């Protein structure tokens, strides 16, 4: 009887908690600040040999934050460091060889929010590690000029805005 009474006492709090979750996850977009600008990034010309697979990547973003990384692969360790300085980092590496990726992963893979009033211009650079035998790796350096930039449409997602921006 005491267990039933305890559960009944918790019921109002559970209802409030559940209703808060449903409101938070309702998908209704928050009012967007017109000053904020979001950009999807792609690496359309990444030179990976047919025998090679991507085993790691490291990117540094200047004057921007990493708002989203799409399609996080299974078997990868992904780290996002959204430092409050707006100088952020994204890194990833495989945990098992079977998780290695092909270059298509880097199509609309990272959504960046540009800093509103930056001291330095927005830029991204880094490297991608590829391997053909999983014993040795080759580093492919990338910088801002290598990225294709696709503006994010308001209240849209990668899927609904189309993959061919």
pLDDT tens string 1-54:
555 445 445 444 444 444 343 333 444 344 556 678 999 999 999 999 999 999
Close Cβ partners of 90 (under 8 Å, ≥ 6 residues apart): 57, 58, 59, 61, 66, 69, 78, 79, 80, 81, 110
Contact 103, 129 (CB under 8 A): no
- Nearest CA-CA partner of 58 in 137, 121, 140: 140
The rounded Cα 146 to chain-centroid distance in angstroms is 18
Of 30-39, 65-74, 122-131, the poorest mean pLDDT is in: 30-39
Q: What is the largest CA-CA distance in the chain?
A: 69
Of 111-115, 121-125, 156-160, the poorest mean pLDDT is in: 156-160
Residue 93 burial class via C-beta count within 10 angstroms: exposed 0-12, middle 13-18, buried 19 and up: middle
What is the residue whose two structure tokens read 């990668």?
Answer: 158
CA distance 42 to 17: 39
- Nearest CA-CA partner of 130 in 77, 46, 52: 52
Q: Which domains does the chain have, with CATH numbers?
A: 37-151 (2.60.40)
- Nearest CA-CA partner of 80 in 72, 91, 95, 70: 91
Q: What is the pLDDT of residue 71?
A: 86
Q: Edge-to-edge strands of the sheet including 87-94?
A: 76-81, 87-94, 53-62, 123-131, 138-142
The fraction of the chain above a pLDDT of 90, given in percent, is: 65
Averaged pLDDT score across all residues of the chain: 80
Q: How confident is the model at residue 91 (pLDDT cuts 50, 70, 90)?
A: very high
Contact 146, 43 (CB under 8 A): yes
Q: What is the pLDDT of residue 8?
A: 44
């Amino acid at each position: 009887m005491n267990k039933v009474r305890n559960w009944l006492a918790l019921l109002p709090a559970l209802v409030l908690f559940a209703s808060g979750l449903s409101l938070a996850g309702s998908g209704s977009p928050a009012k967007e600040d017109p000053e904020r600008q979001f950009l999807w990034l792609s690496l359309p010309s990444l030179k990976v040999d047919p025998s090679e697979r991507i085993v790691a990547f490291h990117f540094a973003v200047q004057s921007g934050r990493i708002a989203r990384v799409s399609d996080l692969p299974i078997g990868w360790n992904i780290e996002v460091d959204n430092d409050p300085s707006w100088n952020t980092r994204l890194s990833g590496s495989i945990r098992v060889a079977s998780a290695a990726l092909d270059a298509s992963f880097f199509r609309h893979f990272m959504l960046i929010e540009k800093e509103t009033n930056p001291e330095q211009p927005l830029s991204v650079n880094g490297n991608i590690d590829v391997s053909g035998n999983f014993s040795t790796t080759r580093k492919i350096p990338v910088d801002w000029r290598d990225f294709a930039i696709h503006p994010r449409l308001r209240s849209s997602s990668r899927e609904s805005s189309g993959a061919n921006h």
